[in-house]
Structure 1
Amino acid sequence: MRSRLPILLTVCAAVLAINLDTTIVNVALPSISTDLDAGTRSLQWIVDGYNLAFAALVLAAGSLSDRYGRRPALILGLVAFAGASAVGAMVDSAGALIAARVAMGMSAAVIFPTTLSIISNTFRDRRERAAALGVWGAVVGIGVAAGPVTGGVLLEHFAWGSVFWALVPLALLTAAAAYVLVPESRDPDVPRLDLPGLGLSVAMLGSLVYTIIEAPAHGWSSGRTLGGFALSALLLLAFVVVERRTAHPMLDLSLFRDRRFSAASGAVTVTFFALFGFIFLITQYFQFVRGYGALSTGARILPVALSIAVASVVGAVLAPRLGTKAVVTTGLLLFGTSFVWISTVAVDASYATVIVPQMVMMGLGMGFISTPATESILLVLPPARAGVGSAVNDATRELGGTLGVAVVGSVFSSVYAANLAEGAWGRLPADILAQAKDSVGAATAISAGQPDLASALQDAFMTGLHTSSLVVGLLCLLGAAVGAVALPGRGFRAPHEDQLTEAVPVPA
């Protein structure tokens, strides 16, 4: 394994770059809201433009990288990612930043599936592969959870564009390392890209996320919102029909008949749904409600990052011994319990005795879920089909994250706006109230020096946070119940596993 360590470190550096970008922008949202005049929905799109492009294209990108070469795909994706990040740092409007974030997400979709494919084809022995996945999972968790910390450090000294500039050298240096260290591997038997399936999946995800994010503005029961959900459902049905009739579908739906595959994919989706939604709101809670600066906010999220890193490695060790079911179910229980606990937190809760334990519980839960569930997905398929498994795993992560920001943000926005209209805020002119409903940052500025407005704003924010957290917590606990039934237990061996031997990557 030692001789393959440089390969693992290189793909982990690539994973770190794109996962930092997933959440590094969150701590900059208040500054972006002020400088670019962006309301809550615009902020959701700035976060979700990246996630949506990532989720929509990762399956197709994984297939193309398997067919034409994983190393060139990794290098190309990293260079494009660096360029898009540089553009994002220089824009001067919310719309332009959303477009740059979409380009970053498209680049990340090319990068991410190559990392798992390279690991699966480099580490064939299950214990070595589990150890490599543990490191990979820890880096994923650190990247996602440490994004706000890194952003806070940068924003302490520079403008918000620095959160994107910082990613440029990391991506370019990793591309150079990949050119030197990562051996070429490909699967020339991978079929051509399923363009109809790709088009339908992009349209379905785009329609669904757009409908959810815009629902608070139009009303959840409005014709526009219901029509959007109906269109998303029709596109999903069309996607399923097309994929079942296509000789070489982009997504092999038959894989989901295996409960080990579908349950593990569901666990990953729920986990990132919860995490991304949490980070979207908690950074605003610390800055708008508690009044912390960007660096202080980022530092206060460190317990999540550290506990994810530890639990990812521990989970990778425990899963082959105790079984995926025991480890992942425990993780989902911890994750769900932490969110139910958050749904009761007071506005002035002690950081040390309340918020830190909640974050540690959340981080431990995610670490126990992510790596073992990823291994369960990969175990269902032989290494020759690693691209399929890794792409599905990546798609479920990003789909969960995209829907997490959209759903949690929209539930929060609806509850927050409804509560803000009551009491002191309801006596303000309609245009000022509308501005406060649309943006927590604007409401914070309006309420400065006015204790009655500030108190009502805090109450409205906390009610939205409590409701969103309770929804997420119950979803995680439901996921734990499903995982306890469907996930593989101790002693499970994949049909192809006895054929695995130590091997070098598949030659070009």
Structure 2
Amino acid sequence: MTETAPSGTRPPITAALALFSAGFLAMLDLSISMVALSPIRSDLHASLSALQWTVDAYTLCFAGLLLVGGLISDRLGHRTGLIVSLALFTAGSAVCMAAPATSVLIGGRAAQGAAAAILVPTSMALIVRLYPEPKQTARMLGLWSALSGIAIAFGPVLGGLLVKLVSWRAVFAINLPLGLIAILFAVVSVPKARRRVAAPVDVLGVVLGITWAFTLAFGVIEGAVHGWASPLIVGSFVTACLALAAFLLVERRREHAMLPLGLFRSPRFSAASVVAFALGFSLSTAFYFLSLYYQQVLGYSPLQTGIGFLPAALAITVAAPLAGQLAGKYGARPVTTSGLAIGAAGLFSMAFVGPDTPFTMVAWMLVLIGTGLGLALPPNNHTALNAAPSERAGAASGTVETLMQFGTVVGIAVLGAVHASLFKDNLQERLTSQGVDPSAAGQAVQAVASGEQATVPGQPLPALLHSVTAAFSHGLQWVWVVAAAVALLSALVPLLIRRQPDPSTSAVPAGQVGS
């Protein structure tokens, strides 16, 4: 169901606060938990793969449902959709806060991500409905975007402070009062409106889309744990391939498709989609591994880790608005390419850091990564929107955002598998070179990788911890190299597309774009 514009006086400030809170909470939980990974691992004895799932569960559900989150809200009614999704997000946060095991924590994170996929489009739709004047709409959407950006950029700092003052559970507990207040404001202040029939939700597309993404992520993350040739992992990859093929076939034939494949007839839109995926895979994923570097290699506290994110956060804050000005003057292509190249330089530089690298050097590398992301993202989104017919702008925006989030999911999975494999191999080599029996070394490696306390007969604990730290740092070095290579290769993509307006988009009738 889709609500029509209300009549009457201007909505109270509490209505705006409810809408801003929805976007703020959804974006905050994309980043705030990054600094809690080490305490979670220690408290819940989480394995490396379980840590990846605490991040990927949220991102996967958020990305998988984002394209249909608006349609779900349309059918519920925007006011009802806002209240229901806020309630689900708050309940998921409560589950995370009280989680006695990683499996429960991952389930709570999945609930949060699913709720966030509805919160984001619903809050934006309500802004347009409650503030219909063009200047009002632009101002309120600008404030919504600014607060969401602040939530992502400075979430790690807030998370580090909460972990230091309370515990990692406070990272999720903070959502409870915020969520309840937002629900109260929404119930009291957001007006009801008359509804009309909305487009049907592509349920089959949602199921197939999440299935292929989940089974792919599962296979990559768990492959190092169960063995790449094990029936479980092989079956996961086969399922992912079959689900993806079925998804593309279904979406091609559906009138109201979850993913409008017709948009990809435009070379410019396809290029922007590839870049969005690469941005998620390389630059966005970098913050997950940066958190591991700070806490597992340098031994930073959660608060120190949060502060350590500031150079990148501040660089994004400065570069993002600058990107719009540069794109207006020089065009979107060179700005996007420059941003990716700068980001790749920052990622590659990180390959040379280790346990003894001073923070002043790391900070400059983070400035490059943040600047690259800030410069590349806005003009790339602009390219995608301009490549689509105006009546499909919402679908184009949602598709590109979804691909970036999927890029983050796949990036954490693939790069996490690279890191886990190199970490374990290097630790095994280090222990055996120190005279440790290969069998005892193997048991210690498996214990460390599983988040358990490892002991080696005849090996002092400080020496073992030094070996673990060095091996962990070795694995991260290759993560940065692979991420940098992906960013650098994607920097070439915008240059392959001709600059003039893309005729393929205008040649496709509006009613057939999604067919």
Quickly name the TM-score band, shorter chain normalised. Answer: 0.7 to 0.9
Pairing 1:431–2:443 present? yes
**Shift in Å at residue 123 of structure 1?**
8.8
Whole-angstrom distance in 2 between the partners of 1:4 and 1:383: 29
Matches within 5 A, 1:211-290: 211-220=219-228, 222=230, 224-290=232-298
Pairing 1:369–2:369 present? no
Answer yes or no: is the 8 Å Cα contact 2:72–2:201 preserved in 1: yes
Q: 2:465 aligns with which of 450, 454, 466?
A: 454
Q: 1:345 aligns with which of 345, 353, 377?
A: 353
Answer yes or no: is the 8 Å Cα contact 1:274–1:472 preserved in 2: yes
Matches within 5 A, 1:154-173: 154-173=162-181
- 78-87 vs 103-112, greater mean Cα deviation: 78-87
Give the structure 1 partner of residue 513 of structure 2. Answer: none
**Shift in Å at residue 478 of structure 1?**
1.0
Give the structure 1 partner of residue 401 of structure 2. Answer: 394
Code of the aligned partner of 1:471:
V
**Structure 1 residues 431 and 315 mapped into 2: Cα distance closer, same or farther (>3 Å)?**
same
Code of the aligned partner of 1:468:
V
- 189-198 vs 116-125, greater mean Cα deviation: 116-125
**Shift in Å at residue 324 of structure 1?**
1.9
Q: Report the TM-score, using the length of structure 2 for normalisation.
A: 0.84
**Shift in Å at residue 277 of structure 1?**
2.7
**Structure 1 residues 444 and 192 mapped into 2: Cα distance closer, same or farther (>3 Å)?**
farther
Matches within 5 A, 1:62-141: 62-66=70-74, 69-115=77-123, 117=125, 139-141=147-149
Code of the aligned partner of 1:461:
F
**Structure 1 residues 150 and 446 mapped into 2: Cα distance closer, same or farther (>3 Å)?**
farther
**Structure 1 residues 448 and 269 mapped into 2: Cα distance closer, same or farther (>3 Å)?**
farther
- 192-201 vs 7-16, greater mean Cα deviation: 7-16
Q: 1:479 aligns with which of 487, 490, 494?
A: 490
Give the structure 1 partner of residue 7 of structure 2. Answer: none
SS at match of 2:492: helix
Code of the aligned partner of 2:430:
G
Matches within 5 A, 1:383-422: 384-422=391-429
**Shift in Å at residue 253 of structure 1?**
0.5
Answer yes or no: is the 8 Å Cα contact 1:323–1:490 preserved in 2: no
Whole-angstrom distance in 2 between the partners of 1:362 and 1:230: 35
Which consecutive unaligned segments of at least 5 residues does structure 2 have?
Answer: 1-9, 507-515
**Shift in Å at residue 359 of structure 1?**
0.7
Aligned residues: 489
Q: 1:293 aligns with which of 297, 301, 304?
A: 301
The Cα offsets for residues 17-59 of structure 1, whole Å up to 9 and x where unpaired, read as 1122122222112211121121111111111111111122122
SS at match of 2:345: helix
Give the structure 2 partner of residue 506 of structure 1. Answer: none
Whole-angstrom distance in 1 between the partners of 2:128 and 2:497: 24
**Structure 1 residues 253 and 423 mapped into 2: Cα distance closer, same or farther (>3 Å)?**
same
- 393-402 vs 30-39, greater mean Cα deviation: 393-402
Q: Report the TM-score, using the length of structure 1 for normalisation.
A: 0.85
**Shift in Å at residue 284 of structure 1?**
2.0
Whole-angstrom distance in 1 between the partners of 2:115 and 2:44: 24
SS at match of 2:490: helix
SS at match of 2:293: helix
Give the structure 1 partner of residue 6 of structure 2. Answer: none
Query: Looking at CA atoms only, which structure, 1 or 2, has the larger radius of gyration?
Result: 2
Answer yes or no: is the 8 Å Cα contact 1:255–1:261 preserved in 2: yes
**Structure 1 residues 396 and 320 mapped into 2: Cα distance closer, same or farther (>3 Å)?**
same
Tell me the C-alpha RMSD between the 2 structures: 3.5
Answer yes or no: is the 8 Å Cα contact 2:283–2:487 preserved in 1: no
